[in-house]
Amino acid sequence: MMALSSFHGVQPLASITIRNVPDEVHRALRSRAAQHGRSTEAEIRAILEQAAKPEGRLKLGTLLSAIAREAGGLSETEVQAFDRIRDRVPPEPIRFE
């Protein structure tokens, strides 16, 4: 089950409930959390983040810029000019109300 919540314009964070975790897995998670000096919940978040976003992964922006460089893309001056004028305000989320 996954739930989203938000308040006062704060970015919503997902909540995940995991049922039927075997006792030995739960004990191992508690032990691992203690070794890292954090709560079991924080340990599970760290494990999930590492699994979903491993350190060595290639990011889309990095890949696209490498392709553009190889294809004789924009000069450094042009890149800097685009960077100065680009909109840095995040888009508003869709509202279904």
What DSSP line would sit under 27-48, residue for residue? HHHHHHHHHTTS-HHHHHHHHH
CATH number at residue 36: 1.10.1220
In this structure, the answer to whether residues 64 and 42 fall within a common structural domain is: no
Domain with 74 in it: 58-88
In this structure, the answer to whether residues 43 and 6 fall within a common structural domain is: yes
Number of neighbouring beta carbons within 10 Å of residue 45: 13
What is the spatial distance between Cα 13 and Cα 4, in angstroms, rounded to a whole number?
6
Which string of DSSP letters, residue by residue, matches 59-78?
Answer: PHHHHHHHHHHHTT---HHH
Residues of the chain with pLDDT under 70: 1-10
- Residue 45 and residue 37 in contact, taking contact as beta carbons nearer than 8 Å: no
What is the spatial distance between Cα 2 and Cα 54, in angstroms, rounded to a whole number?
22
User: Residue 6's pLDDT is what?
Assistant: 46
User: What does the pLDDT look like over 63-91, one tens digit per residue?
Assistant: 887 887 788 777 788 878 888 888 888 88
In percent, how much of the chain has pLDDT > 70?
90
